Structure 1
Amino acid sequence: MNPIQVRDVTVGEGIPKIIVPLMGATEKELLEEITYIEELKPDLLEWRADFFQRVADFSVVEQILRLLREKLPAIPLIFTFRTEQEGGNCPMHVEDYFNLLNVVLDSNKVDLIDMELLTDESMLQQTIDHAKQQGVKIILSNHEFSHTPAKETLLFRLQKMVSLGADISKIAVMPQSVKDLLTLLDVTQEAKKSECPLITMAMGKLGLLSRLSGEVFGSAATFAAGKQASAPGQISVAELRKALQIIHQHS
């Protein structure tokens, strides 16, 4: 894979980078989270805007982005609105989803933007082109909260992300057995040969190994819980960092 540079962080080489989500429902909660997370020193920060109560008001979203950039000027910022069909917290029509993403891109306040692969392909491609014009790195993602698709399906989706112009490709699945976990790890080690860095994870207790072993199998980043987890199976930043360092020292 070819590493990418986001501010002072290189994604795709060395120890997998730690991403922590911001999950606050209000501006007050977000400010409290920023203070808490700043002490954790994550590599990247993700604003999960689908948890924000006023996300449908795009002017307020722009205000929050300015606030985040002011409070944390150096840390790379990912904007994510996770849709309801992929485990998100807030229903939104597909046209509004892409309107929101384009407002965020025009704000010039984010370093990376998460877009879901399995959506309207025409609007997705237009928004990818817009992100590239704005110099914002693109995470193309897919999340399966009920099962783990077949290896061939996962590889096809990752390859399609690359072909559409992803800077980082991301897959998250829900394993129902150890075999499902092994499927994801096999997909990861095979897909790491692709052009862009990838992030893969299996959720829940069965998936913990996938969050720790990225340096071995090829996942370039992993998520840790801040004040609260954004997906099943996330552990604390301190626990995750310690495990990643041990694996790095002995691999």
Structure 2
Amino acid sequence: MGAYVEVRGVRIGEGVPKICVPIVGKTKEEILAAAKSFENVKKDVVEFRVDWFEGVFDFAQVENVLKELREILKNTPILFTFRTSKEGGEKEIEPEVYVELNKRAAATGLIDLVDVEAFTGDAFVKEVIDAAHESGVVVVASNHDFDKTPDKEEIVKRLRKMQELDADIPKIAVMPQNKKDVLTLLSATEEMASEYADRPIITMSMAGTGLISRLCGEVFGSALTFGAVGKASAPGQMNAEDLNKILTLIHKSL
């Protein structure tokens, strides 16, 4: 397992897998209400899924929401994510606009981590990563397959590619068509973590079949897992409180 990444005192890649809670509100009011509802929830990171936000293409609105989110969430790290429709998100976006949005978000000083889809095109990805790093923002490079689970070699290859692009945390989410697919994802995670990774990685198998992959990160090498408060942002996400209990029990018994 690689070194941890520290964000506002949260060490991703060390000890119990960290819990990230997503916000999927469409209006500023919904987004801020969601953030307020997290107050007493065990969470390590909050993901702002900005592709859900109706004002996302007007940066002044995005920045305004970020300022208020930061006030509400205090010292909780914020992960800024525009999930494109081709990777299961809510909106289409041109690569140039996507790059600009992420660079501007990183430059505000209001976010701690930014998600960049690893297969947007190497030049685009590099531009976001370099700009984020200049602003002191951690980069999660991501890839999602909502239809199937690629073979183990392909999963490892994608994660290694993200590492080569200099993302701080490679992330992959895949859909299992059967139980064997879940084992493929876990096996790929273990191989990446033990043989290639010099940094934390995040992996998951989605839907109910893949739920176990969201719970056993500490065993196989996934450093962060997503838990829902209210609305889930992906199939198979469990409630953050339940998730915390399970992760803690597993940690105690290891």
TM-score normalised by length of structure 1: 0.98
Deviation at 1:92, TM superposition (A): 1.2
Q: d(CA) in 2 for partners of 1:129 and 1:224?
A: 29
Shift of 1:45: 0.4
Structure 2: which 5+ runs fail to align?
A: none
Aligned to 2:76: 75
Note if contact 1:3-1:197 (Cα within 8 Å) is conserved in structure 2.
yes
CA distance in 1, matches of 2:61, 2:103: 15
What are the residue-to-residue correspondences of 1:82-231 with 2, within 5 Å? 82-193=83-194, 194-231=197-234
- Which of 236, 242, 248 is residue 251 of structure 2 equivalent to? 248
Counterpart contact for 1:166–1:196, Cα < 8 Å: no
Q: In structure 2, how many angstroms separate the alpha carbons of the residues matched to 1:66 and 1:87?
A: 27
SS of the equivalent of 2:238 reads coil
The 2-side partners of 1:182 and 1:41 are apart by 28
* Residues 188-240 of structure 1, C-alpha deviations (whole Å, 9 max, x = no match): 11111311100100000101000000011010010001220000000101110
Other-structure match for 2:239: 236
Aligned to 1:32: 33
Could you say what secondary structure the match of 1:224 adopts?
strand
Distance 1:141 1:7 in 2: 21
Matched, 1:49 2:50: yes
Moved more, 9-18 or 92-101: 92-101
Q: Which amino acid aligns with 1:164?
A: L
In 2, Cα distance between the equivalents of 1:102 and 1:248? 37
Rounded Cα–Cα distance in structure 2 between residues aligned with 1:196 and 1:50: 27
Contact 2:23 2:47 in 1 (8 A): yes
- Give the structure 1 partner of residue 64 of structure 2: 63
Tell me the number of residue pairs that the alignment of Structure 1 and Structure 2 aligns: 251
Kept in 1: contact 2:42–2:244 (CA 8 A): no
Match of 1:3? 4
Structure 1 portions without partners, runs of 5+: none
C-alpha root-mean-square deviation of aligned residues, in Å?
A: 0.8
Moved over 2 A (4+): none
